[in-house]
Amino acid sequence: MKQRLSIVKIGGNIIEDEQQLSHVLELFSKVEGHKLLVHGGGKKATEIGNKLGIEAKMTNGRRITDAESLDVAIMVYGGLVNKNIVAQLQSFDCNAIGMSGADGNSIKAHKRPVKEVDFGFVGDVEAVNAKNISNLLNAHFTPVFCALTHDGKGQLFNTNADTIAAELAIGMSTEFETTLYYCFEKKGVLRSVADENSVIAHIDSKKYNQLLQQGIIADGMLPKMHNCYHALNNNVKQVCIGDSTMLENSSSNFTTLTL
């Protein structure tokens, strides 16, 4: 029987709020069994970039990563944000180790092909090194992954953190029974965006398609849900979306996704 693994991705608004981040990391540190954390840091990268005179470039809400922006992402994701999270987890007696996709050849990617838009140094994941990550977990380390991948030829890429979390969950499912948690400021997938308590408790594939047709799943939730079902269709046991209470209380109000 496979051991269990919890993969938790924390959202950008949590990272921006020091008090909330500390609370979420404390809860994460108490999650039993093998676990790993994934984080982004886009807002912080924009803030630091502005201070350096490097303006964030966006198209249709998606970040374009030119050479200067990649340098900022490496500094902020792999340095400032990642090491702050690792240090806080260590303070909660969680033996965290900071990781990018290049470390231990953990997550390999290729440059996103140019279609209508050239996103620059943005990587699409092609392989997860489950064996090396398993070795860290079995040695009682808790990997903390930032939103950086590499091509194995010396090039780093900016990669969406939600996608990294999903691809890690898929890759690690060869070794573990994996549950993926998307932890952000909302309580879950909401039937009405205006009503914080309109959480949809359970969504299966049929209901997912219905919610898409009804326009209830829309805007920023669309790519997140796509990642969720990509993971579920590739042997991830289940995916949960909600705020940090789901990490400590399985009967709290959040959304569970299954096939």
pLDDT of the chain, 259 residues: tens digit per residue: 899 999 999 988 999 999 999 999 999 999 999 999 999 999 999 999 999 999 999 888 788 999 999 999 999 999 999 999 999 999 999 999 999 999 999 999 999 999 999 999 999 999 999 999 999 999 999 999 999 999 999 999 999 999 999 999 999 999 999 999 999 999 999 999 899 999 999 999 999 999 999 999 988 899 999 999 999 999 999 999 999 999 998 888 999 999 9
Q: Please indicate if the annotation marks 33 as binding a ligand.
A: no
CB hemisphere CA count around 181 (13 angstroms): 26
The residues, ordered by sequence, that sit 6+ positions from 240 with a Cβ below 8 Å of its Cβ are 179, 180, 181, 182, 246, 254, 255, 256, 257
Q: Is residue 258 part of a domain?
A: no
Q: Please indicate if the annotation marks 78 as binding a ligand.
A: no
Q: Please indicate if the annotation marks 98 as binding a ligand.
A: no
Q: Is residue 199 part of a domain?
A: no
0.95 exceeded by pTM = yes
Q: How far apart are CA 201 and CA 13, in angstroms?
A: 23
Q: Is residue 242 part of a domain?
A: no
CATH number (domain holding residue 65): 3.40.1160.10
Q: Is residue 56 part of a domain?
A: yes
Count of domains forming the chain: 1
For 98, the domain range is: 3-186
Q: Please indicate if the annotation marks 158 as binding a ligand.
A: yes
CB atoms within 10 A of CB 222: 11
- Rg for the chain (alpha carbons), in Å? 17
Q: Is residue 42 part of a domain?
A: yes
Q: Is residue 220 part of a domain?
A: no
E strand or H helix that includes residue 18: helix 18-29
Q: Is residue 115 part of a domain?
A: yes
Phi-psi region of 164 (alpha: psi -120 to 50; beta: other; left: phi over 0): alpha
**Is residue 123 within 8 Å of 157, Cβ to Cβ?**
yes
Q: Is residue 13 part of a domain?
A: yes
